[in-house]
Structure 1
Amino acid sequence: MPEVMFAGPDGRLEGRYHHSKDTGAPLALVLHPHPLHGGTMNNRITYSMFQAFQRLGFSVMRFNFRGVGRSQGRYDGGIGEISDAAGALDWMQSVNPNSGGLWIAGYSFGAFVGMQLLMRRPEISGWISVAPPATHYDFGFLAPCPTGGLMIHGDADEMVVEPGVRKLVDKLNTQKGVSIDYRVYEGADHVMANYADRIGTDLEEYVRQTMARKQMALAAD
């Protein structure tokens, strides 16, 4: 799992990158929680999602937003962090010019950044959002949401109450051609400390099923 340093919009950014042996493998970018609340690319949930994509055969990266770890720059309220994530995608795509699809996954603040990136990068073909901060940020920009995805939340989340996330899911599911797989973990709080393995397993299952359905649809055309 080599360490990489790549150019971001506000200086060099630190990441960990796994390169698939398959030249046509899909890509995945995993985004960590809030930089001002201890979030780093080594967060347990972030790392579990990284490992799940690795098991799926993806080329996958997790990285530190500006000002975290060895990444240069300073926290920018989410705006600069969206640009950081776009820079990470640019780097991965330059290394993998023949990649077969692109997924974005984020936890908490990383889920918000990931959904913002989804609206800016039409090549993103799937997404995973864990504990999205739907009561802290306005997700109204998802209009329309380009594609369906997997959303995971805990019913004991004390920072982002579950009904607020369910309201977002219900709104997205009214959009034409969009289907959100929403999974609520009983007893899980915002940290989800004991649920990392389950998140990795659910991610793997969802991505496999989604990619299989798309392949079947292509074969039927």
Structure 2
Amino acid sequence: MSNPVFPAESGPITLDGPEGPLEAFVDWPEDGAAALPLTAVVCHPLPTEGGTMHNKVVVMAARSLRELGAVTVRFNFRGTGESAGSFDHGDGEGDDLRAVVQWVREQRPGTAVWLAGFSFGAYVSLRMTDELKPDALLSIAPPAGRWDFGILVPPACPWLVVQGEEDEIVDPQAVYDWIDSLKDPPELIRMPETGHFFHRKLMDLRGAIKHAMKAYVPAA
């Protein structure tokens, strides 16, 4: 299959991935708001534990970025939803992310590209940052301690990490220790009384993302 042109309206789309079709969804800013020259690609949590592009944290993160003027692209990793292939422990998922970002850059040349990810999606986007060189990176509950973060190269771009202090899936202290080990650490937002899936804290997450990331928004 050949890739479609970038849609002018919000809706589902199918992209050509390394293993076959990749199910994706493009969202433009709501309520007729003008879109900035910025596309944010958002990665979902672990597929083997039910993670998809429709995860509520992924959806809220994308919404937050659209409220800053970004166009967002969510997609399902291989073997998830209608995306072809099977789970590949982060290796093939990085290839999927590369394919999506290449399509975005071909279709929206000259515009900024941000990467965002929640949990496993944060790990995959971090793994690919050195190659893909985004203009900014958002990592929500990056799963330090669950995956090999020693192989990751910190991004040479603005970087925000949001971590719940009562995360029951990702050890918050492992995240803080990992950040403390970095020569160029990210901006860190620690959200008190917040678990992994941000139950009852999604609006707080929305505000935190918007407040921190607005400084990196490109001019119209």
User: TM-score, normalised to structure 1's length?
Assistant: 0.87
**Partner of residue 210, structure 1:** 216
Which of 42, 51, 54 pairs up with 2:66? 54
Partner of 2:21: 12
* Distance of aligned partners of 1:197 and 1:19 in 2 relative to their CA distance in 1, 3 Å threshold: same
State the distance in 2 between where 1:84 and 1:19 align.
22
Which of 3, 7, 21 is residue 12 of structure 2 equivalent to?
A: 3
After the TM superposition, which segments of 4 or more aligned residues of structure 1 sit over 4 Å from their partners? 19-24
**SS state at 1:140 partner:** helix
Q: How many residues align?
A: 207
Percent identity over the alignment is 29
Distance 1:81 1:144 in 2: 19
8 Å Cα contact 1:23/1:96 also seen in 2: no
Distance 1:47 1:201 in 2: 14
Please give the TM-score of this superposition, normalised by the length of structure 2: 0.87
Question: Which structure 1 segments of 5+ residues have no match?
Answer: 216-221
Aligned-partner residue type, residue 145 of structure 2: T
Which of 178, 182, 190 lines up with 1:168 in the alignment?
178
Distance change >3 Å, CA 117–CA 22, structure 1 → 2: farther
1:1-221 equivalent positions in 2, closer than 5 A? 1-19=10-28, 25-99=37-111, 101-122=112-133, 124-143=134-153, 145-172=155-182, 175=183, 178-211=184-217
Specify the code of the residue in structure 1 equivalent to 2:215: Q
Higher helix share: 1
Letter in 2 for 1:73: G
Runs (5+) with no aligned partner, structure 2: 1-9
Aligned-partner Cα distance in 2 for 1:104–1:145? 11
Q: What is the root-mean-square deviation in Å for CA atoms of aligned residues?
A: 1.9
C-alpha spacing 1:144/1:208, structure 2 compared with 1 (3 Å): closer
SS in 2 for 1:7: strand
Q: Alignment partner of 2:190: what SS?
A: strand
